[in-house]
Structure 1
């Protein structure tokens, strides 16, 4: 799956806030979030998520008492500001009145209790995270309004809320540092960053900001729309990835600030950063980048990263994007609008086998996708640069690696350049016995392949230079299938070569 179930999105948002605890109403097996977060984010502290396990005893007696007891116990032990209760898609089958559980628990708790208002059958992790963040923001702003505690004035100087930075987000922590630095360079005060590291008691200060910045469409857009509708706070949702998009984002910020009474001009800053801080503009004119011009690539990921990467490859580096795709089917119209002028074909699907076959069909020089596409690339002997979740431990580097802002452009240039097969690399690997001489050859992208390579066929295949070996292998297998052959030996390989010129 490209996105997890809804409760993962809710838990990502809840556990990103400070002093917020989440209780997951779930059967054993759905409680893997703690392990995943602790491992990937390398968390030193206890992950603030507790599972209220549904077992046969609970099914026989009903969940209410157990859930209420768990909520009140955590309230007493940890004194959190907020406890978020979420079912999983499995426990939702019980169709229990969780609203009633929350009301019961609230009577005995000091902190606030919220039930995640998410349809666990209809939405995925990203949609649920977006909805949960908006729900928490709405709850605390309405609560502050009733108490008359909402600040009435904007900050004296231009300020911004950065919305959507969350735990388990793809390079979110690094992007956040770069965005804070970028805002500081522009003379813009950081009002709040939510949800990561924020207290729910700080949410009443959100309306003080001049504008909101939404770096990721997947989590934060619902909150931005709510804040604009209720408090008139404009938002900027241009993702600052790549030289052009970063400049476009800053220009939009300039327009917003000046429209609100400010007087800023960021053109000199954009020019200086583009020429001297970012290496991307220089690299695009270098001989190294010219060697990549016209090479074929495919792009796949969430809307934010796939759209941005498609534009960077096509308009900034001269690389031919054969197709670009997203698994965010709920927001596919925006994606189509963004990339339609920069690629030959658009694919919208959450079926990873369809994407694997689409990659095999066009045989690109490089893939830019998720960890799932990296695995596909290994099977097809096509290099892959990972640009979006689903994530792996290597997508949480200890060193500083933002994808956004002007430092992000340098990271992306390196990622693109190093993702393509470079010069004599494959020949050197052949000479020095590198990884391309390994014996194991996969049977193709489809798991249902029934073809086997004999030892002599495999030995001959391994003599072929690595940069064309994958193509030869696939064409030979296609030749064998068309003739109903179950095994590929030396004779079949030669026959295929004579017939189709593999």
Structure 2
């Protein structure tokens, strides 16, 4: 097989024109694609043996679980999420008199009946608005040696992406603490802390982080993956300062945490904005990490060669289908989702399959300072392919763009969410659910990243396509 990932030879056609004129604004968000900041309770429960404690109104925590962890791949609550997570369920009384006393009672009761290595207290809108001093409640427990931290995550502070970094920094500052090389041991230049996908919100985060850890270990690194079944839990978090560097594997999520670690521990970080899907992007990613970490290039290249040999062997068999079934396969695609997956998928679809980008929409409302990076990456999807990206949260407007995009004479393939099902049917296209909410997918360990994940993604894409054309 050739070194290039491209199966379709020749220059790519120019991307289809997109109707950029928005419909009349609704002044609301229809069919939401993120949740409020307290949704970062899943950041806590994604760490093995960590339990969130929510200080919020009745139903808030349950809604976060049902939206993000249930009707999104039916992932389940894990050890500390779902129905396990304690909540104060505060009412009008706490609005008037404050809820600090009720939170103190809940923490004490939780310590009696729940076994955890760390508790993370998160606040909702009510206590943040009325001014409950959460630090004053949690501090006495911390002074007694209880492993507990807190983060203010009221909904008006932003979505769960921003809440996620509030929680990671709270754990670092209040639990991990200072780093003393004489006491804690020297820094290991070949250990890396990985900051990447948003747990639970990203439907495939568990399998994806497993594959990311596997390929990084394959080139000779020791990996603190921090979240999910491959994490060692709080022991990994305690080891964060001893790592040689931090890796931010996303367009922007995790950058704030990495900068915080740089300031606190003088710990460098590498920012790789493209989630690697397929052999080409994964090889590029691993070589960039290896160069930053000063790894043995011979070992790195040997690992990449072995992975590519297996990967391309499967693709060699796949080309029989790809070449013979061309009349029923889509030529153009739309991607609608968070920036990490939208960018990674677009790179893969263009470079691996030769598909033409027709519409790219990023939905998590990334910070303004991150948008130039995202736009620049979409502008260079391939040497001869660029695409314009839109930033939009409202499904009403997103679906307007979908319906007004030209996909040519073939049915499109849409990479989106459950919210796109009806529009995909109207367009007579195929839909692959790749993000929140994914209510027609049951996800355990599935991955779409790296070498192995890309093969699974190919299976999913073309099983869906063949099924849609039947």
TM-score (norm 1): 0.73
TM-superposed CA distance for 1:292, in Å, is 7.6
TM-superposed CA distance for 1:299, in Å, is 1.1
Q: Output aligned runs, 1:376-395, within 5 Å.
A: 376-392=423-439, 394=441
Gaps of 5+ in 2: 1-31
> Per the alignment, in what secondary structure is the counterpart of residue 170 of structure 1?
coil
> Per the alignment, in what secondary structure is the counterpart of residue 109 of structure 2?
helix
More divergent stretch after superposition (226-235 vs 279-288): 279-288
For 1:251 and 1:73, how far apart are their aligned partners in 2? 50
Higher relative contact order (CA 8 A, sep 6+): 2
CA offsets, 1:294-347, max 9 Å, x none? 822111111111011111122221111112110133232222111124454321
State yes or no: 1:18 paired with 2:64. no
Q: Output aligned runs, 1:128-147, within 5 Å.
A: 128-143=163-178, 145=180
For 1:236 and 1:281, how far apart are their aligned partners in 2? 33
State yes or no: 1:403 paired with 2:448. yes
Q: State which structure, 1 or 2, has the greater radius of gyration over its C-alpha atoms.
A: 1
> Which of 101, 108, 113 is the equivalent residue of 1:77?
113
TM-superposed CA distance for 1:34, in Å, is 4.6
2:206 is aligned to 173
Question: Using a 3 Å threshold, how does the CA distance of structure 1 residues 28 and 300 change in structure 2: closer, same or farther?
Answer: same
More divergent stretch after superposition (72-81 vs 312-321): 72-81
TM-superposed CA distance for 1:27, in Å, is 1.4
For 1:115 and 1:76, how far apart are their aligned partners in 2? 19
> Which of 135, 139, 153 is the equivalent residue of 1:103?
139
CA offsets, 1:423-469, max 9 Å, x none? xx75xx5xxxxxxxxxxxxxxxxxxxxxxxxxxxxxxxxxxxxxxxx
1:161 is aligned to 193
Contact 2:208 2:447 in 1 (8 A): yes
> Which of 383, 399, 409 is the equivalent residue of 1:356?
399
2:261 is aligned to 227
For 1:375 and 1:215, how far apart are their aligned partners in 2? 32
Contact 1:372 1:390 in 2 (8 A): yes
Contact 1:212 1:224 in 2 (8 A): yes
For 2:331 and 2:275, how far apart are their aligned partners in 1? 25
TM-superposed CA distance for 1:377, in Å, is 1.4
> Which of 220, 226, 231 is the equivalent residue of 1:194?
226
Gaps of 5+ in 1: 430-502
TM-superposed CA distance for 1:290, in Å, is 5.7
Contact 1:20 1:80 in 2 (8 A): yes
> Per the alignment, in what secondary structure is the counterpart of residue 122 of structure 2?
strand
CA offsets, 1:90-127, max 9 Å, x none? 443323333333335546x5414322144641321112
Q: Output aligned runs, 1:60-71, within 5 Å.
A: 60-71=96-107
Question: Using a 3 Å threshold, how does the CA distance of structure 1 residues 340 and 374 change in structure 2: closer, same or farther?
Answer: farther
TM-score (norm 2): 0.78
> Per the alignment, in what secondary structure is the counterpart of residue 8 of structure 1?
helix
